[in-house]
Structure 1
Amino acid sequence: MTKERSVSETMSYPGDLGNVVDRAIKSAHGALSNRQHEDGHWVFELEADATIPAEYVLLEHFLDRIDPEKQKKIGVYLRRIQGSHGGWPLYHDGDFDISATVKAYFALKAIGDDPEAPHMRRARKAILARGGAERTNVFTRIQLALFGEVPWDAVPVMPVELMLLSRKAYVSLWNMSYWSRTVIAPLLVLGAYKPLAKNPKNIHVPELFVTPPAQVKDWIRGPYRSHWGRFFKYLDSVLRKIEPHFPKKTRKKAIKKAIAFIEERLSAGGLGAIYPAMANVVMMYRILGVSDNDPKVVQAWQSIQDLLIEKNGEIYCQPCVSPVWDTGLSGLAMLEAATGPKAVEREETFKNLKKSASWLRDRQILDVKGDWAINTPHLRPGGWAFQYENDYYPDVDDTAVVGMLLHRLDPEENKEAIERAREWIIGMQSTNGGWGAFDIDNDLDFLNQIPFADHGALLDPPTVDVSARCVSFLSQLGHPEDRAVIEKAITYIRKEQEPSGSWFGRWGTNYIYGTWSALCALNIAGVDHQDPTILRAVEWLESVQREDGGWGEDCASYEGAAQGVYKQSLPTQTAWAVLALMAVGRRDTEAVKRGIAYLTKEQDEKGEWNENPYNAVGFPKVFYLRYHGYKQFFPLTALSRYRNLESSNSGRVEFGF
Structure 2
Amino acid sequence: MFRGDSAPPKGGIPPATKFNNWYLEVCEGRQVWHYVTDELTKIQKERFELTASPYHVGLPKFATPEESGSPFYKVPSQSHSYEEVLRKGVSFFGKLQTKDGHWAGDYGTQLLLYKKQPICEPFKLEILRYLFNVQNEDGGWGLHIESTSTMFGSVLNYISARLLGLTVEDKLLHKAKCWIQSHGNGSSCLASPQWGKVYLAILNIISWDAVNSLIPELILLPEIFPFHIKGMWSYARTVYMPMTYLYGIRFQVAEDDLIRQLRTELLPSSLADYASIQWSVYRNIVAEEDLYTPHTRLLKYAFKFFNAYEYIAPSFLRRRALARLYEVGVRKESEFTKYICIGPVNKVLNTLVTWIVEGPESVAFQKHLERLPDYLWMGTDGMKMNGTNGSQLWDTAFMVQALMENSKNREEYRDIFSLANDFLDISQIRVNHPEHWKYYRDETKGGWPFSTRDVGWLVADTTGEGLKASLLVKRHGYSLTPLDDSRLFDALNILLLMQNSTGGYATCEKTRGSKLFEYLNASEVFGDIMIDYDYVECTSSALQALVTFHEHYPTHRKQEVLKAVERATAFILKSQHQDGSFEGMWGICFTYGTWFALDGLASVGLYYENNSAVRKACKFLLSRQMMDGGWGESFLSCVRRTYVNHKASQIINTAWAVLALLGAHYPQKEPIKRGIDLLKQRQLLNGDWPQESICGVFNKNCMINYSNFKNIFPIWALARFTERYPQESPL
Q: How far 1:41 moved relative to its partner?
A: 2.3
Match status 1:609 vs 2:700: no
In 1, Cα distance between equivalents of 2:293 and 2:342: 33
- SS of the residue aligned with 2:616? helix
Contact 1:447 1:453 in 2 (8 A): no
Hey, what does 1:148 align to over in structure 2?
204
CA offset digits 1:359-406 (Å, max 9, x no partner): 322332232158996899997732111122356421111000011111
Q: Structure 1 275/616 Cα, relative in aligned 2: closer, same or farther at 3 Å?
A: same
Query: What is the root-mean-square deviation in Å for CA atoms of aligned residues?
Result: 2.9
Match status 1:236 vs 2:303: yes
Match status 1:81 vs 2:149: no
Hey, what does 1:186 align to over in structure 2?
242
Match status 1:299 vs 2:367: yes
What amino acid sits opposite 1:485 in the alignment?
A
Structure 1 gaps, min length 5:
1-16, 649-657
Q: How far 1:185 moved relative to its partner?
A: 2.0
- SS of the residue aligned with 2:582? coil
Match status 1:476 vs 2:548: yes
Match status 1:315 vs 2:395: no
Hey, what does 2:317 align to over in structure 1?
250
In 2, Cα distance between equivalents of 1:84 and 1:371: 51
Q: Structure 1 583/589 Cα, relative in aligned 2: closer, same or farther at 3 Å?
A: same
2:158 to 88, 94, 105: 105
Q: How far 1:588 moved relative to its partner?
A: 5.0
Which residues of 2 match residues 91-170 of structure 1 at below 5 A? 91-127=144-180, 128-131=182-185, 132-170=188-226
Match status 1:363 vs 2:427: yes
- SS of the residue aligned with 2:717? helix
Hey, what does 1:585 align to over in structure 2?
665
Contact 2:295 2:522 in 1 (8 A): no
- SS of the residue aligned with 2:632? coil
Q: How far 1:241 moved relative to its partner?
A: 2.4
Q: How far 1:572 moved relative to its partner?
A: 1.2
In 2, Cα distance between equivalents of 1:109 and 1:189: 26
What amino acid sits opposite 2:304 in the alignment?
S
- Among the aligned pairs, what percent are the same residue? 21
Q: Structure 1 328/378 Cα, relative in aligned 2: closer, same or farther at 3 Å?
A: closer
In 1, Cα distance between equivalents of 2:564 and 2:125: 53
Contact 1:324 1:388 in 2 (8 A): yes
Contact 2:690 2:710 in 1 (8 A): yes
Figure out how many residues of one structure are paired with residues of the other and give that number. 617
Q: How far 1:327 moved relative to its partner?
A: 1.5
Q: How far 1:239 moved relative to its partner?
A: 2.1
Which residues of 2 match residues 406-417 of structure 1 at below 5 A? 406-411=470-475, 413-414=482-483, 415-417=485-487
Deviates more, 1:198-207 or 1:463-472: 198-207
Q: How far 1:106 moved relative to its partner?
A: 2.2
Contact 1:602 1:609 in 2 (8 A): yes
Hey, what does 2:708 align to over in structure 1?
629
What amino acid sits opposite 1:255 in the alignment?
L
Q: Structure 1 228/317 Cα, relative in aligned 2: closer, same or farther at 3 Å?
A: closer
In 2, Cα distance between equivalents of 1:376 and 1:105: 36
- SS of the residue aligned with 1:638? helix
Structure 2 gaps, min length 5:
1-77
Q: Structure 1 507/166 Cα, relative in aligned 2: closer, same or farther at 3 Å?
A: farther
Contact 1:228 1:446 in 2 (8 A): no
Q: Structure 1 374/249 Cα, relative in aligned 2: closer, same or farther at 3 Å?
A: closer
CA offset digits 1:248-292 (Å, max 9, x no partner): 23322222222222322324643533111110111112222x333
In 1, Cα distance between equivalents of 2:439 and 2:571: 21
Which residues of 2 match residues 65-76 of structure 1 at below 5 A? 65=118, 67-76=120-129
- SS of the residue aligned with 2:384? strand
Q: Structure 1 494/311 Cα, relative in aligned 2: closer, same or farther at 3 Å?
A: closer
Q: How far 1:604 moved relative to its partner?
A: 0.9
CA offset digits 1:205-256 (Å, max 9, x no partner): 4444446482452422699999982223222222222234333233222222
Q: Structure 1 371/484 Cα, relative in aligned 2: closer, same or farther at 3 Å?
A: farther
Contact 2:111 2:153 in 1 (8 A): yes
1:38 to 84, 99, 109: 99
Which residues of 2 match residues 215-614 of structure 1 at below 5 A? 215=278, 217-220=281-284, 229-261=296-328, 262-267=330-335, 269-288=338-357, 290-311=358-379, 314-320=382-388, 321-336=390-405, 339-341=406-408, 343=409, 346-347=411-412, 349-369=413-433, 381-390=445-454, 392-411=456-475, 413-414=482-483, 415-450=485-520, 452-454=522-524, 455-456=526-527, 457-478=529-550, 479=554, 481=559, 482-530=561-609, 531-560=611-640, 563=643, 565-586=645-666, 588-614=668-694
In 1, Cα distance between equivalents of 2:699 and 2:444: 29
CA offset digits 1:439-473 (Å, max 9, x no partner): 21235222222263433312211111111111111
Deviates more, 1:532-541 or 1:89-98: 89-98
TM-score, L = length of structure 2: 0.79
- SS of the residue aligned with 1:266? helix
Q: Structure 1 360/370 Cα, relative in aligned 2: closer, same or farther at 3 Å?
A: farther
In 1, Cα distance between equivalents of 2:676 and 2:519: 44
- SS of the residue aligned with 2:341? helix
- SS of the residue aligned with 1:103? helix
Q: How far 1:298 moved relative to its partner?
A: 1.3
- SS of the residue aligned with 2:631? coil
Deviates more, 1:478-487 or 1:291-300: 478-487
Q: Structure 1 373/250 Cα, relative in aligned 2: closer, same or farther at 3 Å?
A: closer
What amino acid sits opposite 1:475 in the alignment?
V
- SS of the residue aligned with 1:568? strand
Q: How far 1:173 moved relative to its partner?
A: 1.7
Deviates more, 1:500-509 or 1:355-364: 355-364
- SS of the residue aligned with 1:475? helix
- SS of the residue aligned with 1:316? strand
- SS of the residue aligned with 1:309? strand
What amino acid sits opposite 1:637 in the alignment?
W
Q: Structure 1 452/390 Cα, relative in aligned 2: closer, same or farther at 3 Å?
A: farther
Hey, what does 2:37 align to over in structure 1?
none
In 2, Cα distance between equivalents of 1:423 and 1:642: 34
In 1, Cα distance between equivalents of 2:92 and 2:148: 34
What amino acid sits opposite 1:124 in the alignment?
K
Hey, what does 2:82 align to over in structure 1?
21
TM-score, L = length of structure 1: 0.87
What amino acid sits opposite 1:178 in the alignment?
S
Q: Structure 1 81/18 Cα, relative in aligned 2: closer, same or farther at 3 Å?
A: closer
Q: Structure 1 572/462 Cα, relative in aligned 2: closer, same or farther at 3 Å?
A: same
1:51 to 101, 108, 112: 112
Q: Structure 1 587/88 Cα, relative in aligned 2: closer, same or farther at 3 Å?
A: farther
What amino acid sits opposite 1:241 in the alignment?
A
Q: How far 1:437 moved relative to its partner?
A: 0.6
Deviates more, 1:577-586 or 1:441-450: 441-450
In 1, Cα distance between equivalents of 2:340 and 2:315: 27
